[in-house]
Amino acid sequence: MTADIPLVNGTSQCTVTAHSPKSYQTCIEFYSQFLHLEPESVNAQSTVLRNSSISVSIVLREDANKQAESDARIKKLASERDTCDWRSQVSDSFVFKSADAASCRASLDAKFDNVQAYPTDLFPMEVYAVDPAGNVVGVTKTKNAVSARPTAPPLSAGTFTSNLPSSAQSTVGLDSTDEKSISLSTGVTGGDADSALKQKAIAVMTSGGDAPGMNANVRAIVRTAIAKGCRAYVVMEGYEGLVRGGPEYIKQFSWEDVRGWSSEGGTNIGTARCMEFRERPGRLLGALHLIEAGVDALIVCGGDGSLTGADLFRSEWPSLLQELKGTGKITAEVFARYKHLNICGTVGSIDNDMSTTDATIGAYSSLDRICRAIDYIEATAKSHSRAFVVEVMGRNCGWLALMAGIATSADYILIPEKPASSREWQDQMCDIVGKHRSRGKRTTIVIVAEGAIANDLTPITPNDVHKVLCDRLKLDTRVTTLGHVQRGGTAVAFDRILATLQGVEAVNAVLETTPDTPSPLIAINENKITRKSLVESVKLTKSVAEAIQAKDFKKAMSLRDTEFVEHLNNFMAVNSADHNPPKLPQDKRLKIAIVNVGAPAGGTNSAVYSMATYCMSQGHRPYAIYNGWSGLARHESVRTLDWKSMLGWQSLGGSEIGTNRCTPEEADIGMVAYYFQKYKFDGLIIVGGFEAFVSLHQLERARANFPAFRIPMVLMPATLSNNVPGTEYSLGTDTALNALMDYCDVIKQSAASTRGRAFVVDVQGGNSGFLATNASLAVGAQVSYVPEEGISLEQLSQDIETLAESFETAQGRGRFGKLILKSKNASKVFTPEVLAEVITAEAKGAFNAKSAEPGHVQQGGLPSPIDRTRATRLAVKAVGFIEDHQADICSARADDEEFDPDNRTVSVTATVLGIKGSDIVFSPIRQLYDFETEIVKRMPKVIHWEATRAIADSLVGRKKVESKH
């Protein structure tokens, strides 16, 4: 048989070079079999094989070294056949078009069994083999290289047989009398069938209420599965799709199917609440439909109800298969093949109500909508001196209301975890609101969670709150219910990154899970992606609601994670400020100063406000050093902070007390010490970036000469560069990421509309690639260049080639704008303008590039809710550190002769407050500065975001060139 096989790229001939006589002969045999070609001319050095459309020239050029390289490549590809997609491992390959890919596959004898077939070995649309010269050669029956639709009708039964039911049969009811059963008979024997069976098929579904970030989660799962050599499926419409089954609801997805999904809100694969799946017959149908599709691993993104259903599905899986086998719906062979179902959960819920994880996908996006709305409401409330009652979502969890209360300095919050009697909450609210009003506050914001209750389980509605404020305080009050606005819009940067990293980890989890391993839940604790037990997490979550219904509110609060309780205590302390008697006795009250050093960063004002109000509640006296160290040394810019003057600071960007990059030594450290001594400061909090880090080091080193610095000192890192040693998170990074992400989304839309255009975006960050790396992950940038790697000509050439291939396959389709992010210090030669010109020139008309510079827009406007709430949490911890370590160093201030600056008890009192992995840590400045810092580069020695770079590159198919240096 001679098939009509023209080259996909339109050329009519190609040449294959063999490097040994043996390889030469087997190449002739291979291409004759695989492509059904006939010899036209044959001699000892060259052979031409052809049919009516193409010709393949095979040339012998003996070279022992190159033959050894070919043999090594063949061996490597053979070892990765079942675990890795060859197409991702080679820079190029031969691909031919054929209406009969299965025939090409079947024509190879056992000698050439090194083959990969897509989407399955049962019905291949693409077949790839490794020829004896080490080349990857493929045939496809699709329209083009990235299409998922064949150009010819399905194969006849006589060509390639299978007992697998058709799509029409796949939705047959379980009580049907149809005698057909699912079988693994393929018509292919030996190792080829085994290879198809070993290839993992991973499906993802979204279930329950939609949440921003779900699309990013699906994108990451699909692309990671494909990159790891697995088949990727999506289940449309949640559990409803499992019950209905068939190719309409369980679809195989390709790499391109999820392009651009990160920036889209909701879930593109649909979600629905399915009553049928709650019953065993519905789950039985779901099991049958998964087997029909060949799926053996399922990742569910949803809330506690969806994940409960997933774990129940896995626990029942053996009995479900036994029942299907008993009724003849599946064969014994299928039963053995699919006897285990690996399930993994990622939590998509705006309520953030899942125990064991600090954040769920969509929660911070919803919080962002709430804070924006309240920020807008604040303006009109101030104009009319009104009170507003704002209802937010949160049926059994008050996280949204609590965090919004902290982020917007709300006057009062009502949450289900901390109810009071009807009289108590009314008295408490009126007391606090009354004190705020009497001290000159013109606005009142009360936030009510939709699940708010009194301690007798009576619901507390916004109208109840409205009535109390009107009747008892005589306030002009309005009610605002935000409703589903909280679910809408695109995900914030944190949710996109969280969803992406959890999606990657979910694929790793299902590939590593054994039948004896409990179903994992992918969580995040502080800054670290972790795996938890799905069933235990769901059990803990449900027990909170049960405790509330049982009126055991103390237990309900104890079941919340410690961070929730900490946030609640912080809110109550910060909200009371100096309105109530101080908590500490007179002899424990301190004078604590705060100063901003370095460039402005989102959350800086929140840190100052929270530090000052918490100090007031404790009985301390807060001082602000205005305009940095130079303001102190030159103008004695020190003032105490009072509550009324700081109203609204929690929501403001920039720095209200002023900041600059001057260090104490540059300003005059002697004058700094003089004013410290004059005001008798007992503690210092520095908020800032690397200049603040250097400032703390200088003050700590100066303790031997200046007793005024012998006080506890804490640095709260705040810089969009995130380059302060001792922490993986800095205030301002989230605000900067959101500002940069919004900018990139807009210009990516422009690039997609123009067709054939890429934008080179200039990213701030100094010598740190953190911002560019994480923004790349959030917006799906094709390339990011960072100072840690620089820009090599080899890598630039490879990236241009990859971009050209991407635009060629796009064929004018939408959502195809390309972004290249370049950190400002990644290269002094390749500026964004130069880089854009080089790319345009090298593209030779295939596409063009333009430069874009967001500049100081990246510092952000209003700080993000994450930066606001973390600023509050860290500020309270910083004050606590000063309180706890006061006794360790206070006696040293007057004892010059006995003071030992190297004493560890003393040295640890100058510290950096940071987040590392899943912990909040205090790291002594001396240890960090001496051993963990690249002083010249202004960077930590350990780059904690390297793993994120690898993930960002893999999810866009970027090929990295290994450095030769």
User: Quick one: 243 exposed, middle or buried, by C-beta within 10 A (0-12, 13-18, 19+)?
Assistant: buried
Residue-level pLDDT at 896: 66
Task: Please say whether the beta carbons of 73 and 134 come within 8 A.
Answer: yes
Positive or negative torsion for Cα 146, 151, 157, 158: negative
Element (H, E) at 702: none
pLDDT tens digit string along 22-59?
888 888 888 888 888 888 888 888 898 888 778 888 99
Closest to 347 (Cα-Cα) out of 113, 506, 489: 506
pLDDT of residue 122: 60
Checking if the pLDDT of 587 tops 60, the result is yes
pLDDT tier for residue 834 given thresholds of 50, 70 and 90:
very high
Alpha carbons 108 and 7: distance in angstroms, whole number: 20
Per-residue pLDDT, 149: 43
Instruction: State the average pLDDT over residues 310-338.
Output: 92
Cβ neighbours for 957, distance < 8 A, ≥ 6 positions apart = 88, 255, 802
Binning the chain into helix, strand and coil, the percentages to the nearest 5 are: 45, 20, 35
| Mean pLDDT along residues 77-96 | 77
* Angstrom distances, CA of residue 460 to CA of 70, 353, 410, 415, 430: 74, 20, 18, 9, 15
Does 351 qualify as catalytic in the annotation?
A: yes
At 459, phi and psi to the nearest 5? -60, 145
Cβ 680 vs Cβ 593: under 8 Å: no
Q: What is the mean pLDDT of residues 209-229?
A: 95
Which run of H or E residues covers position 785? Answer: strand 783-785
Strand-pair partners of 118 = 126
Report the mean per-residue pLDDT for the chain.
87
Quick check: 104 and 98 in contact, CB under 8 A?
yes
H-run or E-run covering 257: none
User: Please, which pLDDT band fits residue 194 given cuts at 50, 70 and 90?
Assistant: very low
Average the pLDDT over each of 139-143, 304-308, 473-477 and give the range with the smallest value. 139-143
Adjacency order of strands within the sheet including 38-42: 13-18, 55-60, 46-50, 38-42
| pLDDT value at 398 more than 90 | yes
Determine the pLDDT at residue 120: 66
With a cut of 60, say whether residue 327 has pLDDT above it: yes
Share of the chain above pLDDT 70, in %: 90
Mean pLDDT, range 73-89, rounded to an integer: 80
Top-confidence residue, 849 or 892: 849
Question: Which residue is listed with tokens 């056992």?
Answer: 110
Q: What is the pLDDT of residue 111?
A: 67
What per-residue confidence (pLDDT) applies to 79?
83
Show the tokens assigned to 365: 């996006």
Write phi, then psi, for 523 (nearest 5 degrees). Answer: -120, 175
Q: What percent of the chain stands above pLDDT 90?
A: 61
Q: Cα–Cα distance between 931 and 738 in angstroms, integer?
A: 33
Backbone φ and ψ for 761, nearest 5 degrees, come out as -105, 125
Q: Band of the pLDDT at 406, cuts 50, 70, 90?
A: very high
- pLDDT bin (cut points 50, 70, 90) of residue 72 is confident
CA 355 – CA 521 distance, rounded (Å): 11
The radius of gyration computed from the CA coordinates of the chain, to the nearest angstrom, equals 32
Tell me the per-residue pLDDT of 609-622, one tens digit each, with 9 for 90 and over.
999 999 999 999 99
Confidence band of 753 (pLDDT split at 50, 70, 90): confident
Interatomic CA distance for residues 19 and 487, integer angstroms: 61
> Residue 436: in which H helix or E strand, if any?
helix 422-438
List 311, 351, 368, 578, catalytic entry: 351
Look at the block and give the residue holding tokens 């675990």.
Answer: 83
Secondary structure of 716-732 in HEC code, one letter for each residue:
EEECCCCCCCCCCCCEC
894 has a pLDDT exceeding 80: no
Tell me how many degrees the CA angle 350-729-363 measures, rounded to the nearest 5: 0
Identify any residues that bridge with 298 across adjacent strands, giving them in sequence order: 203, 343
pLDDT in tens, 669-693: 999 999 999 999 999 999 999 999 9
Query: Which has the higher per-residue pLDDT, 8 or 144?
Result: 144
The DSSP H or E segment spanning 703 is none
Residue-wise DSSP of 84-139: S-GGGTSS--EEEE-S-HHHHHHH--GGG--EEEES-SSS-SEEEEE-TTS-EEEE
All structural domains of the chain, each given as residue ranges with its CATH number in brackets, are 13-140 (3.10.180.10), 169-184+191-358+492-538 (3.40.50.450), 363-487 (3.40.50.460), 577-731+863-934 (3.40.50.450), 736-861+948-954 (3.40.50.460)
Q: pLDDT at residue 160 above 50? A: no
Contact assessment for residue 598 and residue 604, using Cβ atoms and an 8 Å cutoff: no
pLDDT band of residue 895 (cuts 50, 70, 90) is low
Q: Which of 106-115, 433-442, 824-833, 852-861 has the lowest mean pLDDT?
A: 106-115
**Sequence-distant (≥ 6) Cβ neighbours of residue 891 within 8 angstroms:** none
- Give per-residue pLDDT as tens, 477-523: 999 999 999 988 899 999 999 999 999 999 999 999 888 888 999 99
Q: Which helix (H) or strand (E) holds 70?
A: helix 64-79
Structure tokens at 175: 């009580």
φ/ψ bin of 26: left (φ > 0), alpha (ψ from -120 to 50), beta (otherwise): alpha
Q: Shortest CA distance to 417 belongs to which of 590, 546, 556, 240?
A: 556
Close Cβ partners of 123 (under 8 Å, ≥ 6 residues apart): 102, 154, 155, 160, 162
What are the tens digits of pLDDT across the range 936-960? 999 999 998 988 999 999 999 998 8
What CA–CA distance (Å, rounded) separates 873 from 879?
A: 10
Position 851 pLDDT exceeds 60: yes
pLDDT at res. 170: 34
Residue 898: its pLDDT value, please?
Answer: 75
Q: Where are the alpha helices (DSSP H) in 108-228?
A: 191-198, 214-227
Strands (E) located in 357-465: 387-392, 412-414, 444-449
Residue pointed to by tokens 């125990």: 355
Average pLDDT on 619-628 reads 97
For residue 26, give Cα distances in angstroms to 23, 412, 800.
5, 80, 36
The three-state secondary structure class of 917 is coil
Output the pLDDT for position 747: 92
Q: Is the pLDDT of residue 82 over 80?
A: no
More confident residue, 61 or 186: 61
Q: Given a cut of 70, is residue 195 above it in pLDDT?
A: no
Sheet hosting strand 520-525, strand order edge to edge: 250-253, 231-235, 201-206, 297-302, 342-347, 520-525, 528-533
In this prediction, residue 272 carries a pLDDT of 87
**Rounded Cα gap, residues 218 and 214, in angstroms:** 6
pLDDT grade for 109, boundaries at 50, 70 and 90: low
Look at residue 4 in the predicted model and tell me its pLDDT: 40
What string of DSSP letters covers 509-548? Answer: HHHH--TTSPPEEEEEETTEEEEEEHHHHHHHHHHHHHHH
591-609 pLDDT tens trace: 999 999 999 999 999 999 9
- Crossing angle for the helix pair 363-384 and 399-408, to the nearest 10 degrees: 50
In b/e form, how buried is each residue of 818-836, taking b as 16+ CB within 10 angstroms?
bbbbbbbbbbeebbbeebb
Residue in the structure block whose two tokens are 């393949």: 56
H runs (alpha helix) in 550-663: 553-559, 562-576, 604-618, 628-635
- Is the pLDDT score of 812 beyond 60? no
Query: Cα–Cα distances in Å, from 15 out to 64, 202, 557?
Result: 20, 38, 72
Q: Where are the beta strands (DSSP E) in 802-950?
A: 818-823, 848-852, 910-916, 919-924, 933-934, 939-940
Average pLDDT score over residue span 889-913: 82
pLDDT at res. 558: 82
